[in-house]
Amino acid sequence: MGQAKQRGTFEQRKAQSQTSLASALLSGMDAALASAPEKLACAQGCSYCCHYHVYVYPHEVFALADYIRTLAEDAQGQIRRALLANVERIESMSVDEHIATNIACALLQNGLCSAYSVRPSACRQHHSLDGVSCKVTFYDTASPMQNIISAQRMANSARYILQMTRKLRASGYDITRYEMNRALLEALSDPGCRDRWNQGQKTFITVVDTTTEI
């Protein structure tokens, strides 16, 4: 009983440490992005980009998982069901097919991100200076139109992410980026993910769609 209690305390401390790290890294990115002066077209209720294929770092997945666990049981169940539905839907898709398909994020509720405060870096850095391009590319995923973006904002985020990944790699952590739906579903069901991340191993063993590109 004593050993079980000690282990529980250790696991709790470890999870808290990972959550604190994720929070610090995400806050740091917000600070880096805040220095870009351009006015964005992004606004509350605009959710075109919330249907994209998204890669996430393990610490970001843990931040999302920890946040979801603070929600009411029915809200947690709704997110888990949405994640599972997304995973089943993309199971037979190639990565390119997934990228070309609009699939609502499992965290999107009534047009709003239900985990906005802990959204991953891919979501934080994504933006547009013109909402028209977002609408066009949403309804026509084959459109050659590109979002009009802030070069300074992208440079700031790229610089910060590069510094962040270097620090994580130097500390021995896995810095692979994983497809978000399956990674988050695994994080919510397999406690071993955190141990693998701490040990620099492949964090989410069920995820095939990964990238090491920053």
pLDDT of residue 37: 76
Q: What is the pLDDT of residues 16-38, one digit of tens each?
A: 566 677 777 778 888 878 777 78
Distances 176 to 23, 41, 58, 81, 210 between C-alpha atoms, Å: 19, 31, 8, 25, 7
pLDDT of residue 16: 55
* CA 140/CA 74 separation, integer angstroms: 34
Higher pLDDT, 55 or 22: 55
Which of 8-12, 26-30, 78-82, 151-155 is most confident?
Answer: 78-82
Query: Facing residues of 210 across strands?
Result: 178
Q: 2-34 vs 58-68: helix axis angle to the nearest 10?
A: 110
pLDDT of residue 33: 80
- Is the pTM for the entire model greater than 0.75? yes
- Is there a contact between 51 and 105 (Cβ–Cβ < 8 Å)? yes
Give 67's contacts (C-beta < 8 A, 6+ positions apart).
Answer: 115, 117, 118
Which of 42-46, 139-143, 171-175, 204-208 is most confident?
Answer: 204-208
Q: What is the pLDDT of residues 155-192, one digit of tens each?
A: 988 989 998 999 999 999 999 999 999 999 999 999 99
